[in-house]
A and B are shown apart, each in its own frame.
Chain A
Amino acid sequence: MMRVGEIAVGRSGDKGEKLDLTLVALNAENYAWLEKRLTASVAQAAIARVMPGEVTRYEVPGLFALKFVIEGALPGGVYATLHAGLHWQKAAIWVLLDLEID
């Protein structure tokens, strides 16, 4: 078992109703490990506990990066949220960083 956040850094973003999560692995070996294991469906299962939406994964091997874009994750956009205050989604990357994978 390895926590994703031990081998990658990450950041959350958004646009409209979409959530946009980026992970950048520390090196090529870490990237290969993540690329193989952190599939769209693994990410989907983790993210579904927090928000709705279909997950699409994009790979950028040259930057050791994976992106996960979740359609409809922020219904009505960030200002329509029922979370405490605004912009809870800035912390959403920890759903992936705290994921433990075999």
Chain B
Amino acid sequence: MQERTVAAGAGFAGDRTEQAVALAASGKVHAIGLECLAERTIVPGLRAREIDPEAGYDPRLERRLKPLLHVAFSNSCRVVSNLGAANPLAAGAKIARLARDLGCSGLKSAAVIGDDVMALADNIDWEVDFEGNLLGAHAYLGVDTIAPAVEGGADVIVTGRVADSALFSAEPLPILVNHDDALAGATAIGHLLECTGQVTGGNFEMPDGGSLSAKDFANLGFPLARVFADGTAELGLLDGAPGRIDRLTCALQLLYEVHDPSAYITPDGILDLTGITFDEVGVNRVRVSGARFRGKPKTLKVSGFVQQPGFVADIEIGYAGTHALNRGQIAADTLRMRLDDIPQDHIRIDLVGVDSTLGLASLPPANRMPEVRLHVSARCPDAELAQIIEDEVYSLTLSGPAGGGSVRSERRPSLAVVDGLIDRNLVKTEIVWETA
């Protein structure tokens, strides 16, 4: 049976860069996928593109591809990435220039264009009504939009918004037989790969608290998968790469963020993941099979970004030593009195180290906390209110419990993500080629 080996070299825009190089250098990998575009990552790209039409791709593109391009090109390992962010066209041209500088003469880059559906905004069916300024709208494209670049022999394929799984399923697509369930399988494998270390022992803890060691985390191997023509696969690590791949790490990643496991909606198909089985066939080697196809959605998901006026102000002040917890609690109550005119649902005051993450579901604190940090976040319609709250926290150093210090604060723009749907027939895509 024909097979293709696909690997994951990045699971977010800032992911470690050296694993992709190691995977490409192994000579065992036909394509490496670099998932670099979280929901919000596209927003700075939109802003950059407004100022400079040649910008808008991920600013880390060069840092990520410089060590990788030559190794991948000389090992016939295709690179597939959504590093194009808000400007895949400019990214494709940049990659060709970079390849020329690195001596990869003849390298073919292909940019997939068409995910930006801002011009079709009137045709988007938004899930919720929103107020504010729509910054951008991008459709999640399917693997069918990348396929022509694979068939055309692209060495690097760069996209904007596509389904993360499509970055990995594009390579085995041409060899799949019994197409629908096989495509469901390849898509599920893409989903298993797209968060790199999350399937190889990262973000994972056993009930006894056991996890990988710091040394293993520091060098964590990223996954690769031999994908077979029937859409089944064998997941593994490079020889000697530290990590853990077993039934548990695979099940957690398979079900990660899919909502209904019997109907996981991707542009390439609605997947039933409930029949998937993981067979441990060796150390850190797992056979994956059993994905089922339940039809192709007529719409594509659209992610929109809405800029609302104002900021979220996020401020902390620390207390340490004997009675630190008590002083932190008094400081929090003092601040609640000082800021009692802010609507309850626009402000949150809590203690980092005690209840800032899980609120009322937090475990009870120790009696003698060596230090705590008072945290306040508030939704501020303007910079003036943000400044007032920051000043109120700082005032605690003079007019509050003893020893308040180590103040830090930040202001985040008030940005909401809104989801919508668009008729997939309205979304036209094309491939733009460049040769180094």
Taking Cβ atoms with an 8 Å cutoff, the residues of A that contact B are 5-11, 13-16, 18, 20, 22, 24, 26, 46-47, 49-51, 58, 60, 62-65, 67, 69, 76-86, 88, 90-92, 94-95, 98
Separation of A18 and B265 alpha carbons in the complex (Å): 15
Query: Which residues of B have CB within 8 Å of A65?
Result: 251, 255, 261
Interface of A, secondary structure class, is mixed
CB pair A84–B356 under 8 Å, yes or no, is: yes
Separation of A79 and B314 alpha carbons in the complex (Å): 12
Separation of A39 and B259 alpha carbons in the complex (Å): 17
Q: Which residue from chain A places its CB closest to the CB of B262 in the assembled complex?
A: A58
CB pair B375–A84 under 8 Å, yes or no, is: yes
B51 close to chain A: CB less than 8 A: no
Known A-B contacts A14-B257, A94-B358; A6 and B416 likewise in contact (beta carbons under 8 Å): no
> Quick one: which of B346, B415, B419 contacts A79, CB cutoff 8 A?
B415
- How distant is B132 from chain A, measured CB to nearest CB, in Å? 11
Interface residues on B, range: 35 or more
CB pair B347–A82 under 8 Å, yes or no, is: yes
Query: Which residues of B have CB within 8 Å of A10?
Result: 252
Query: Which residues of B have CB within 8 Å of A76?
Result: 416-417
B412 close to chain A: CB less than 8 A: yes
CB pair B203–A11 under 8 Å, yes or no, is: yes
Query: Which residues of A have CB within 8 Å of B251?
Result: 22, 24, 63-65
14 A/B residue pairs, CB under 8 Å, sorted by A? A11-B198, A11-B204, A11-B253, A14-B257, A24-B248, A24-B252, A49-B359, A58-B261, A63-B278, A77-B416, A78-B417, A84-B356, A84-B377, A92-B358
CB pair B258–A20 under 8 Å, yes or no, is: yes
Separation of A50 and B205 alpha carbons in the complex (Å): 22
Q: Which residue from chain B places its CB closest to the CB of A22 in the assembled complex?
A: B255
Separation of A49 and B251 alpha carbons in the complex (Å): 28
